[in-house]
Chains A and B, each alone.
Chain A
Amino acid sequence: MTDTVESISSMIVQKLLANPKVPRDIDGDSKIVEDLAFDSLAVMNFVMEIEDTLDVSVPLDKLADIRTIHDLAVCLAGLKNGNFP
């Protein structure tokens, strides 16, 4: 199961590295906008891929507080473990 913060964070990094445009040295502390050069639409579209893998939906307002890959993993783990929705 990929439902701990660590395992989700690792899964996100692996998915990001599948994109050749993403820097190779990313980790959980990497900032999604600044370090990965994602604009708001790219972030939303990338999160959709993760949503499919984990079978959750992330409400848009939760994305507003997410800065790093770790933040995203915490949010997804919370959703996966029964918090909304």
Chain B
Amino acid sequence: MIDIFAKYDGLKAAIAGLTQNTPRSPFDVVIERPLSATVGLIEGRETLLFGTNNYLGLSQSKAAAEAAIATVREEGVGTTGSRIANGTYALHRRLERRLAEVFRRRHCMIFSTGYQANLGAISALAGKDDILLLDADSHASIYDGSRLSHAQVIRFRHNDPSDLDRRLGRLKDHPGAKLIVVEGIYSMTGNVAPMREFAEVKKKHGAYLLADEAHSFGVMGEHGRGVAEQDGCEEDIDFVVGTFSKSLGTVGGYCVSNLDGMELIRLCSRPYMFTASLPPEIIASTLAALDEMQARPELRHRLQENAKRLNHGLHGLGLNASPHVSPVVAVTLDAVDQAVAFWNRLLELGVYVNLSLPPATPDERPLLRCSVMAAHSPQEIDRAVEVFGQVAKELAA
């Protein structure tokens, strides 16, 4: 009998090599429970959380929790079905109308996760005769959606509108539709897309533009609509995709658009059609979190201040931190062993960040990915920076 797992022998060896000199596996950290938005219990210790996507701290929103509890009592815990069969509740429609209003678009589809939002939107929008142009550093959900679309896929250099322009120029005689996919903020590095320049390139070539604002919704722009709002080019973005699991602290995803063809996608997007719809309590808590996000713009302002404080603090230590100021602050290291040791020591000293390893990182170098929240106090950020400084010194010694 052929071992069905034999193809993963290389992976097995890589994990063993990675974890042989480390007291814990970076893939197996358990947050025993959150004590607040910014502090969690890990290995029995109170640990500062600098490795979540909980940018506005709303995963711990009392209003969202109460809305979920009340809805569970009234409607139960799940829908048991898909949107097109038996899983559409009034609440789904309400959230879609609400998001369409927030983004000032005519159409909105919600999905069961952010991953599925990209999978469902991209795979349905692009067909086998079309061309997808993806930023080279795109999230896995974008690459996976592209495969499911059967379209031709071309990568362009990360955050490089002139490279995109060149590649679209080569396609001028191609008869298919062209869909460009970029992200507002890149989740690993915190890099911010030059959205207005991308919008100019798409107009020049008659292409469509999809912006994944998963990490920038609630974070950038005067009303929190993301990088396109901040850059004043929302009208040129044909499709905005995002998630509820970052700024809104719940789970699920969405795609909004002004193009009426969007409603057809409900009947041909497999990741929308063939999966259970979001449970009612999640929708209720997402609606409550959305209310809170809009009612408290000070959260966004505090988040920006905190992002600057962490970014400048890590730069001040001489670490190779993200050049863009955004709530994702990644410190790039040279070697995997060094990154694993650094990450372990941070955790032992009470600071949890994400260890990101190649090939999941953009330039084949390891990252210590930090993320900051509106809920972090200046003292908590300063403490994290101090611990980074201590570990950097220890490892240099």
Contact = CB atoms under 8 A, between A and B. Distances in A.
A85 interface: yes
Interface core residue of A39, A60, A84 (most chain B CB under 10 Å):
A60
Contacts of B136: 44-45, 48
Nearest to B153: A60
Contacts of B155: 44, 48, 60
B359 A85 contact: no
Interface in A43-85: 44-45, 48, 55-61, 84-85
Interface core residue of A48, A56, A85 (most chain B CB under 10 Å):
A85
A35 B152 CA distance: 28
Interface string B146-188: 1000001111010000000011001100100000000000000
A57 B178 CA distance: 14
B153 A61 contact: yes
Contacts of B146: 60
B177 to A, nearest CB: 14
A40 interface: yes
A57 B174 CA distance: 13
A41 interface: yes
B152 A85 contact: yes
B78 interface: no
Contact of B359 (A42, A56, A84): A42
Interface residues of A, number: 16
B323 interface: no
Tier of interface size on chain B: 10 to 19
B358 A59 contact: no
B154 to A, nearest CB: 5
B359 A39 contact: yes
A42 B364 contact: yes
Nearest to A55: B170
B310 interface: no
Contacts of B364: 41-42, 45
B99 interface: no
Interface in B326-373: 358-359, 364
A57 B136 CA distance: 13
A39 B153 contact: no
A48 B157 contact: yes
Interface in B77-121: none
Contacts of B131: 85
A85 B153 contact: no
A14 B113 CA distance: 45
Contacts of B157: 48
Given A57-B170, A85-B131, A39 B154 contact: no
B358 A39 contact: yes
A48 B131 CA distance: 17
Contacts of B358: 39, 41
Contacts of A41: 358-359, 364
Contact of A56 (B152, B153, B170, B174): B170
Contacts of B171: 57, 85
Nearest to B157: A48
A40 B359 contact: yes
B144 to A, nearest CB: 12
Nearest to B167: A57
B49 to A, nearest CB: 29
Contacts of B154: 57-60, 85
Interface core residue of B152, B157, B171, B174 (most chain A CB under 10 Å):
B152
A38 to B, nearest CB: 10
Contacts of A58: 154
A57 B132 CA distance: 12
Contacts of B152: 59, 61, 84-85
A59 B128 CA distance: 12
Contacts of A59: 152-154
A1 B221 CA distance: 48
A43 to B, nearest CB: 10
A40 B358 CA distance: 11
A60 B146 CA distance: 10
A58 B167 CA distance: 10
Interface of A: 39-42, 44-45, 48, 55-61, 84-85
23 contacts: A39-B359, A40-B359, A41-B358, A41-B359, A42-B359, A42-B364, A44-B155, A45-B136, A45-B364, A48-B136, A48-B155, A55-B170, A56-B170, A57-B167, A57-B170, A59-B152, A60-B153, A60-B154, A84-B152, A84-B174, A85-B154, A85-B170, A85-B171
